[in-house]
Amino acid sequence: MMQDPSLTELLERASAWAQQDPDENTQAQLRQLCEKVRSGDDSAALELADRFAGNLAFGTAGLRAELGAGPNRMNSMVVRRTAAGIGRFLRQRAKGTYVPSAVIGFDARYNSDVFASESAAILTAAGITVSLMPMALPTPVLAWAVREFAADAGIMVTASHNPPADNGYKVYLGGKAEPGWGSGAQIVTPADAQIAAQINHDEPMIDIALAHTGWKVLPGRAEPGDIEAAYLEKITGLLTAIEDAPTADLALARAALKIVLTPMHGVGGHTMATGFAASGFSHVAIVAEQEHPDPDFPTVAFPNPEEPGAIDLAVALAQRTGADLVIANDPDADRCAAAVNFPDTGWRMLRGDEVGWLLGTRIAQTASQDSVFANSIVSSRMLASIAALRGLGHRQTLTGFKWISRTPDLAYGYEEALGYCVAPDLVRDKDGISAALLLAEYAAELKAANSGFPQVLDALALAHGAHQTDQLSLRVKDLGLLGTMMESLRANPPRELAGETVAQFEDLSLGAHLPPTDGLLFLTEANTRVIIRPSGTEPKLKCYLEIISQATDAQQLPSLRVAGQEKLDTIKRELSRLLAG
């Protein structure tokens, strides 16, 4: 049978890849796939073509993709070449005899420990001083360690809340190798492009040197200098720094608060539970089915607290135990979700913006006057109003903590996707551990005063207007469709949203007020705002909606919110039809 020349070339490329692959599992996987292709399996041919469609791009999110063999997947070949590129990047920027340093962490996903160890071996061989986390730990521990050790780089092997089949590689910069970038934050332009330029996607594996020893494994649990304990000592000290009530009263308030915690099968369970215990929160029930790390995430369809049903087990446990607060971390614990019992409507998860307002309100109570709050452009506009009421500064940034964390004089930053930076001096990234501790502290204070988060949210709505937010996400199979859809909207923007005239249309790619980014902003005469942008980590087009309504008393709020949700639903239907066309 005659074989398509392009298919023959693809099989040759796959065979050459398999010959170099240092991982026996992915090597065998690729050879089995090639056999299916040779036997005439069309679906196997499509799969093989996708794996070799291009090189996995290194960008501001580092790397993130499905595990598997081939240059368009996460595997040891891709990781080793990337680590070698990072090593060259760090060495080129070292001045004189300065020796760059790096800290490497990993979560509990498949191959995370392998990718971390391979990276440690490659960077050590390249002359980098490397510290490796002793076990799977939350991303915030790694982000803290980059600043704590004044490391020049940090690498976290994680795919955060992506599906079980994925893994990723997140990179931070700090230290002395690049003055001005030494914040310990995630990489941004131009560092991403400069690192990418140092990655040789054809570099033979035999040419990449691996050290067999020489890197330091940081102390683990029950060892002197335990890295997790050191992080928690600093983070739990945050609560001491903000206390303004008698110690005995605070201790009683914390002890009285009943918390349900779910780590969502991730690595945050031990760290979070230990942090709660060290801070005096003695009534913490952990969702047993989701307590321990499990890379298959068996009880959730998608390991993201934002997804419908993800915190159902936690809410059910809260109902059985009469809890006051549910805390949910995502699998690498850099995000924090919360749920509370509303007096009239029952338990529900708070939106990311609502948690952002609550933490902003709490931090504003003790923030110094030179403090600055920040949130991403797709997050709610209420934080700016909260900051203004307290005479604090406020900045709007591009989406992502790589931008939020770089805000000068930052005291607090958040994004609606459950990311909160409540201790920027310690962690220049979102941190689901410290955010959860501060949120619990606030809940305990309110409970002691016979109040709670629902009452605070009502008060905020009366003081700043009832801000209601929602999202619409459209997943696509072909990434090329995202660009087509965005260009179509640029050429034919909607003139009305839910019957309101669009008074302002801004193409964010032109960079009028922020650095250019692929996004569109629509603002109606009634102050309804819609922002549309492609996701940075998933094949989705995301629409962020916000309306603001005014109420004169609390009795108006329920009906106002019902009408507001109806308007949001109308806008989502209109956008769905528009984007489908």
Q: What is the model's pLDDT at position 181?
A: 47
Specify the higher pLDDT residue, 3 or 361.
361
Q: Are residues 434 and 520 in the same domain?
A: no
- State which of 416, 435, 463 marks the end of a domain: 463
For residue 229, tell me if it sits in a domain. Answer: no
Token pair in block for residue 140: 């915030």
Q: Are residues 380 and 475 in the same domain?
A: no
- pLDDT > 70 fraction of the chain, expressed in percent and rounded: 96
Q: What is the model's pLDDT at position 79?
A: 98
Q: Are residues 266 and 308 in the same domain?
A: yes
3-class secondary-structure state, position 497: strand
CATH number of residue 558's parent domain: 3.30.310.50
Compute the distance between CA of residue 498 and CA of residue 492 in angstroms, rounded to an integer.
17
Compute the distance between CA of residue 17 and CA of residue 11 in angstroms, rounded to an integer.
10
Compute the distance between CA of residue 461 and CA of residue 502 in angstroms, rounded to an integer.
24
Q: What is the model's pLDDT at position 93?
A: 87
CATH number of residue 185's parent domain: 3.40.120.10
Q: Token pair 């109420």 is at which residue?
A: 551
Q: Are residues 32 and 81 in the same domain?
A: no
Report the mean per-residue pLDDT for the chain. Answer: 94
Q: Are residues 258 and 403 in the same domain?
A: yes
Q: Is the pLDDT of residue 313 over 70?
A: yes
Count of C-beta atoms within a 10 Å radius of residue 182: 18
Query: Do 251 and 168 meet the contact criterion of CB atoms below 8 Å apart?
Result: no
96, β-bridge pairs: none
Q: What is the 3-state secondary structure (H, E, C) of 234-258?
A: HHHHHHHHHCCCCHHHHHHHHHHCE
Q: What is the model's pLDDT at position 33?
A: 97
Q: What is the model's pLDDT at position 69?
A: 97
Q: Are residues 28 and 107 in the same domain?
A: no
Q: What is the model's pLDDT at position 245?
A: 55
Compute the distance between CA of residue 115 and CA of residue 106 in angstroms, rounded to an integer.
8
Q: What is the model's pLDDT at position 178?
A: 47
Side-chain half-sphere of 130: how many Cα atoms within 13 Å? 30
Q: Helices marked H in 243-381 — which ranges? A: 247-256, 269-278, 312-321, 352-364
Count of C-beta atoms within a 10 Å radius of residue 563: 14
What pLDDT band is residue 537 in, cutting at 50, 70 and 90? low
What pLDDT band is residue 2 in, cutting at 50, 70 and 90? very low
For residue 223, tell me if it sits in a domain. Answer: no
Compute the distance between CA of residue 135 and CA of residue 145 in angstroms, rounded to an integer.
14
Tens digits of per-residue pLDDT, 202-245?
Answer: 999 999 999 999 999 999 998 999 999 999 999 999 888 777 65
Catalytic residues: 160
* Cross-sheet strand order for the sheet of 496-497: 466-475, 540-549, 529-534, 520-524, 500-507, 496-497
State the average pLDDT over residues 275-298: 97
State the average pLDDT over residues 73-88: 98
For residue 567, tell me if it sits in a domain. Answer: yes
Tens digits of per-residue pLDDT, 463-492?
Answer: 999 999 999 998 887 777 888 889 999 999
Residue 399's φ and ψ, nearest 5 degrees, are -65, 135
Token pair in block for residue 529: 């705002």
- State which of 53, 69, 84 marks the end of a domain: 53
Compute the distance between CA of residue 497 and CA of residue 16 in angstroms, rounded to an integer.
54
For residue 235, tell me if it sits in a domain. Answer: no
For residue 12, tell me if it sits in a domain. Answer: yes
Compute the distance between CA of residue 80 and CA of residue 120 in angstroms, rounded to an integer.
10
Q: What is the 3-state secondary structure (H, E, C) of 443-457?
A: HHHHHHCCCCHHHHH
State the average pLDDT over residues 511-531: 93
Compute the distance between CA of residue 326 and CA of residue 440 in angstroms, rounded to an integer.
9
Q: Are residues 92 and 176 in the same domain?
A: yes
Compute the distance between CA of residue 255 and CA of residue 263 in angstroms, rounded to an integer.
21
466, β-bridge pairs: 549
CA Rg value for the chain: 24
Compute the distance between CA of residue 499 and CA of residue 547 in angstroms, rounded to an integer.
13
Tens digits of per-residue pLDDT, 434-454?
Answer: 999 999 999 999 999 999 999
Compute the distance between CA of residue 201 and CA of residue 581 in angstroms, rounded to an integer.
39
Q: Are residues 141 and 282 in the same domain?
A: no
Q: What is the model's pLDDT at position 506?
A: 95
Compute the distance between CA of residue 223 and CA of residue 70 in angstroms, rounded to an integer.
40
* Total structural domains within the chain: 4
Q: Token pair 């102390």 is at which residue?
A: 219
Compute the distance between CA of residue 565 and CA of residue 429 in angstroms, rounded to an integer.
32
Query: Do 172 and 185 meet the contact criterion of CB atoms below 8 Å apart?
Result: yes
What pLDDT band is residue 535 in, cutting at 50, 70 and 90? confident
| C-alpha torsion 122→59→25→14, nearest 10 | -110
Q: Are residues 437 and 486 in the same domain?
A: no
Query: Do 111 and 202 meet the contact criterion of CB atoms below 8 Å apart?
Result: no
Q: Are residues 61 and 44 in the same domain?
A: no
**Amino acid at the residue 246:** P
**Residue whose C-alpha is closest to residue 118's, from 65, 79, 64, 73:** 79
Specify the higher pLDDT residue, 177 or 156.
156
Residue 470's φ and ψ, nearest 5 degrees, are -160, 170
State the average pLDDT over residues 32-46: 95
For residue 222, tell me if it sits in a domain. Answer: no
**Residues spanned by the domain of 114:** 57-217
Compute the distance between CA of residue 572 and CA of residue 497 in angstroms, rounded to an integer.
9
- State which of 217, 236, 263 marks the end of a domain: 217
Q: What is the model's pLDDT at position 292?
A: 97
Q: Are residues 314 and 403 in the same domain?
A: yes
Q: What is the model's pLDDT at position 294?
A: 98
Compute the distance between CA of residue 414 and CA of residue 441 in angstroms, rounded to an integer.
18
Q: Are residues 572 and 450 in the same domain?
A: no
For residue 240, tell me if it sits in a domain. Answer: no
Q: What is the model's pLDDT at position 189?
A: 86
For residue 574, tell me if it sits in a domain. Answer: yes
- Cis link prior to 190 (omega < 30° from 0)? yes
3-class secondary-structure state, position 97: coil
Q: Tell me, yes or no, if the pTM score tops 0.75.
A: yes
Tens digits of per-residue pLDDT, 253-283?
Answer: 999 999 999 999 999 999 999 999 999 999 9
DSSP 59: B
